[in-house]
Structure 1
Amino acid sequence: MTSRLRGKAAIVGVGTAGHGEAPGFNAMDIQALAVHEALEDAGLKLCDVDGLFTANMSHTFPAISTIEYLGLKPRWIDGTNTGGSSFVADALSATMALEAGLCDVALICYGATLRSGAGRMTPAAEQPTYEIPHKPRYPMTAYAMAAATHMARFGTTREQLAEVAVAARAWARMNPEAFERDPLTIEDVLSSRMVMEPLSLRDCCLLTDGAGAVVMTRADRARDLPNKPVYFLGGGIASYNRAVSEMPDLTTTAARDSGARAFAMAGLKPEDMNVLQLYDAFTINVILFLEDLGFCPKGEGGSFVSGGRIAPGGPLPVNTNGGGLSFCHPGMYGVFTLIEATRQLRGTAGERQIAEAETALCHGNGITLSHQATAIFGTEAAL
């Protein structure tokens, strides 16, 4: 059943800043640069923004701090922090606020300088007290447990995990903004330093600086702005747990529910998607999400990604900007799924452009497989 929210809002501007390393800048600095670029892209001004949706890893009160830094006086703010999934969830929240008339121009933004260090994270968020005695290394321990369980239960191999990293790098090599663009082979992934068995260095995301911003408005106004609107078609969120040790099943994430809700709202199915942007903090993420979002049966994700299926030239383009594994990963990655989906649906992705892309699925993952958010976008042809 489709929702009254379907097609009622659209992304009209996107911007990025500080990819890779941004020495001399802090998180708010590069976030502001990305916001400026997004507003310019949208043909709007900072004074037009009356809705703010943000989270970060450097401020206890990120929304209030962003308001002060940018000089905003919004009518509506949302600073909900669910980790890297926050910004995909924000696309749904912004659409609701726009449709309800709580704001007219919604800004979704994020920035961090984790690599250069000019604006390190605040002290680590509280960790589950019943996990701390086991001395886990967050977040690697959580994802290594998921990967090891998937391998033991379904026969998934390290080579299949490596296929995800190699595909991401192949896309990144076509993206001039990507932090890592050198060639990468399956053997390179397998021979890289073991971080936490079974995950090697190349199974893990980058640690970079970076900022991204997205501007949304109601569909009727979007059509009058300079760029081709990218319409929100459906969204969903789901969470089963905070601690990875409390997951009902280490091989099944809440994406099973967030995806189902997004597809129901959009009135679409997995086979209707032209391009996917999946949160790939680790290679196992992509395999889990492809299964849980319905692109292949549970347990078959490893074989599904093999043979270049998700790489350039494959039938299912995944993470066409290079993802968190090769493009950038400044602590939270979700906003970049929205930006790349927008560029693909506008037809402005350059060498990596997917021909005639009309639909895109963005999926965000928060904390240690703790929160999942799915959003589906489309061109006017998909309405």
Structure 2
Amino acid sequence: MASSIKGQACIAGIFEHPTRRADGISTAQLHADVALGALADAGLSLSDVDGYFCGADAPGLGGFSMAEYLGLTGLRYMDTTETGGSSYLLHVSHAARAIMTGQCNVALITMADRPLAAGAGPVLAGVDMSQVPEREFASPVPVPPVFGYAMVARRHMHEFGTTAEQLAWVKVAASHHAQHNPHAKLREVLSLEDVMASPVVAAPLRRADCCVVTDGGGALVLTRPEIARSLKRPIVKIAGAGEAMKHSSGGHVDPLHSAGVFSAAKAFEEAGVTARDIRYASLYDSFTITVIMQLEDIGFCEKGQGGRFAADGNLIAGQGRLPVNTDGGGLCSNHPGNKGGMTKMLEAVRQCRGEAHPAVQVPNHDLVLAHGTGGLMSSQHMAGTVILEAA
């Protein structure tokens, strides 16, 4: 039996919910909407699905409840892995391996949540952070995510001379892309001066350095290659995938490297390619520093050079060396349920299919990469990397 998933599974269908605020729509209905949308995109139906994947955003008993709600009667495989925003990249990897080993033929992955409509704010659905083991020692100290990412950014600046202007270029690039996305929450094109004029939230991060909070969701359908070939849709093969964990090591924290160092290396090894072969990347952008760290850790540039790499429009499609997040990303378009891994996969598939907006579609899209970080880059997090190949 093959040990590598390279070419053993294909993404046959995708769908992104158009809403950014889901008043009057339940979480279960959001999951159903995106599931039906992705299956319709693939030319399949619920009766074809025999593998189901979801995270803690799925309501009730998670996978059990959603399987019944959707009417998935032919399931042979279920995976409810939860690693925050990176969950859905891990689901792609796990689904491909389940298909490769014959445990399912058609895998459905759904993600949906409604923190805005529910008034929940920047929290992760189904995740009770008050119960993490170290919380009893740190409960008097507020720890919103921006604090941890500000620490990473400040340390990066101290060690490598990264500037606030270099961080700002990540947001500028996102805004240039978002203007072409009719569903993006923020569509205004920003200049470097606009971003620098944004108020400081947690130094050195400004409000414009932070992702949006939205409702919505998305779904993916993976199939066996022979099924994908029968569906008359552009074939997108899973070329390689990797996952890796990094935590605070009992207080011995290294804020200058993420788990992406290891997940990306695994994905590249499995795909038999390098970062130099990638012409488009969907990179997790919870904050602008997140993108700069991933540029380095995945291997698009040397450690410490991420700020310089991102500067002067180098992440903008049509003018930069590496277009990143051509849908506007989490910084401008969509960050449903405060977990952006699903949207990273969706835009990577659009690019690999050649179906991104014409203004941002990269001409050479045979190999694209999606990467997610779930948790806090400053402490505990799980990274997932997926490399896609157009047939």
What TM-score does the superposition give when structure 1 sets the normalisation length? 0.94
* Aligned CA distance change for structure 1 residues 164 and 135 (closer, same or farther; 3 Å): same
C-alpha displacement of 1:27: 1.7
**Deviation by residue 1:62-84 (Cα, 9 ceiling, x = unmatched):** 22222122121311000010000
C-alpha displacement of 1:133: 4.4
Q: Which residue of 2 aligns with 1:372?
A: 383
Q: Which residue of 2 aligns with 1:345?
A: 352
C-alpha displacement of 1:193: 2.1
Give the alignment of 1:91-170 within 5 angstroms.
91-117=92-118, 121-122=125-126, 124-125=128-129, 126-127=131-132, 128-129=134-135, 132-133=138-139, 135-170=141-176
Q: How many positions carry a matched residue from both structures?
A: 378
Q: Which residue of 1 aligns with 2:266?
A: 261
* Aligned CA distance change for structure 1 residues 216 and 38 (closer, same or farther; 3 Å): same
User: What is the SS of the residue equivalent to 1:89?
Assistant: helix
Give the alignment of 1:61-76 within 5 angstroms.
61-73=61-73, 74-76=75-77
User: What is the SS of the residue equivalent to 1:7?
Assistant: coil
Query: Where do 5+ consecutive residues of structure 2 fail to align?
Result: none
Conserved? CA contact 2:18–2:183, under 8 Å:
no
C-alpha displacement of 1:157: 0.8
Task: Report the Cα distance in structure 1 between the residues aligned to 2:151 and 2:136, rounded to whole angstroms.
Answer: 16
User: What is the SS of the residue equivalent to 1:20?
Assistant: coil
2:307 pairs with 302, 305, 330, which one? 302
- Return the letter of the residue paired with 1:362: A
- Return the letter of the residue paired with 1:20: R
- Return the letter of the residue paired with 1:332: K
Task: Report the Cα distance in structure 1 between the residues aligned to 2:332 and 2:187, rounded to whole angstroms.
Answer: 7
Q: Which residue of 1 aligns with 2:242?
A: 236
Q: Which residue of 2 aligns with 1:33?
A: 33
Give the alignment of 1:349-360 within 5 angstroms.
349-351=356-358, 352-360=360-368
C-alpha displacement of 1:355: 1.3
User: What is the SS of the residue equivalent to 2:19?
Assistant: strand
1:194 pairs with 190, 196, 200, which one? 200
Query: Where do 5+ consecutive residues of structure 1 fail to align?
Result: none
Q: Are 2:303 and 1:292 aligned?
A: no
Task: Report the Cα distance in structure 1 between the residues aligned to 2:350 and 2:31, rounded to whole angstroms.
Answer: 19
Q: Are 2:276 and 1:271 aligned?
A: yes
Conserved? CA contact 2:56–2:126, under 8 Å:
no
C-alpha displacement of 1:137: 2.8
Task: Report the Cα distance in structure 2 between the residues aligned to 1:134 and 1:265, rounded to whole angstroms.
Answer: 44
Conserved? CA contact 1:27–1:118, under 8 Å:
no
* Aligned CA distance change for structure 1 residues 305 and 119 (closer, same or farther; 3 Å): closer
* Aligned CA distance change for structure 1 residues 260 and 356 (closer, same or farther; 3 Å): same
User: What is the SS of the residue equivalent to 1:108?
Assistant: strand
User: What is the SS of the residue equivalent to 2:17?
Assistant: strand
Give the alignment of 1:40-55 within 5 angstroms.
40-55=40-55
What TM-score does the superposition give when structure 2 sets the normalisation length? 0.92
Conserved? CA contact 1:27–1:119, under 8 Å:
no
Conserved? CA contact 2:170–2:310, under 8 Å:
yes
Q: Are 2:223 and 1:212 aligned?
A: no
C-alpha displacement of 1:373: 0.5
* Aligned CA distance change for structure 1 residues 253 and 245 (closer, same or farther; 3 Å): farther
2:335 pairs with 319, 329, 332, which one? 329
C-alpha displacement of 1:124: 3.7
C-alpha displacement of 1:131: 5.9
Conserved? CA contact 2:57–2:111, under 8 Å:
no
C-alpha displacement of 1:245: 7.5
Segment drifting more, 345-354 vs 123-132: 123-132
Segment drifting more, 155-164 vs 26-35: 26-35
Task: Report the Cα distance in structure 2 between the residues aligned to 1:354 and 1:245, rounded to whole angstroms.
Answer: 43
* Aligned CA distance change for structure 1 residues 167 and 347 (closer, same or farther; 3 Å): same
Task: Report the Cα distance in structure 1 between the residues aligned to 2:118 and 2:58, rounded to whole angstroms.
Answer: 11
User: What is the SS of the residue equivalent to 2:116?
Assistant: coil
C-alpha displacement of 1:60: 6.3
Task: Report the Cα distance in structure 1 between the residues aligned to 2:363 and 2:103, rounded to whole angstroms.
Answer: 37
Segment drifting more, 71-80 vs 288-297: 71-80
